[in-house]
Structure 1
Amino acid sequence: MGRKPLTDAQTQAVDDRISATMRQLARTNPEWQAKSRDDRVMAASQQAMADIQAEAARKVENTQRQILKPAATEARIAELTASREKLAAALQVLQDNPPPADDGTKKSKRAIKDWALDIASFEKLIAQIDATLPCPTDAAPDSAAGDAASWVQRGINIASIPKG
């Protein structure tokens, strides 16, 4: 009814699938040998159909994941870029303000040490983000607006992008 008949190759593929399923069921089902030939063929056909449906569902799920993963990656890149900008602004504030005056007390020495550690920490964080994210000059002008180029095409190592 509106469907084309199966080709010989398709018929053979169905037969092969049912035969393989029958062998698998014979290995795993202890009651298999007690069934009649017709019952075994019917059970194998039903199992093969269920397996094919499960495979189709997995393919759909995998395709959905492949579509969503780049979007999630782009979001993580945007978050890292925003974090980098905030860190750079905070670093600039620290660098624009001189360290506390050293009056010889432990408190002032600690404040100077903390100031220096803050600057070094911010510089390391920014360097790590810069190493992870693509260089803005490497990207095409329209890529900042979200072009079709994937993170792979822009050379981003996804494993190095921390999850939020």
Structure 2
Amino acid sequence: MSFLDSFDISASGMSAQRIRLDIAAENIANVDTTRTENGGPYIRKDVVLASYGKKTTFANALRAARTGSSVISTGKRGVRVAGITDDTRETKRVYNPTHPDADVNGYVEMPNVDVTKETVDAMSATRSYEANVTALNAIKMMTQKAMDIGK
């Protein structure tokens, strides 16, 4: 694995975490949306992440490092957004007979969004993004130090 692969891995992680943060913000913004284009309450969205690139075991990586071969460094690696799915949990029913979307019994179907969970997801995405930035900066510093050695 070359040091440039490390840049790709960190960059893909930052991109994936940005999308996670965007989806958490969208979910929070729609916490009170009772009517969508599809005719029902907003349904919470979730991000599915997946790795991509050549997969290798630790034993193969160790063997490649010992022999000096570049078996591992073929193709880009990192993380990608495999999809954005709808949450399957039921929506909440709240009694509010004055609401324009209330049914004949006075209940309104509310989105299945939990603001606390979305806040935790947003914090997790932010911390993961920061970890990728830290790794990227460490790689950059190592590269600069290596170039200084060559002077």
Which structure is higher in RCO with an 8 Å CA cutoff and minimum separation 6?
2
Give the helix-richer structure, 1 or 2: 1
TM-score (norm 1): 0.31
Q: Which of the pair has more CA radius of gyration?
A: 1
TM-score (norm 2): 0.34
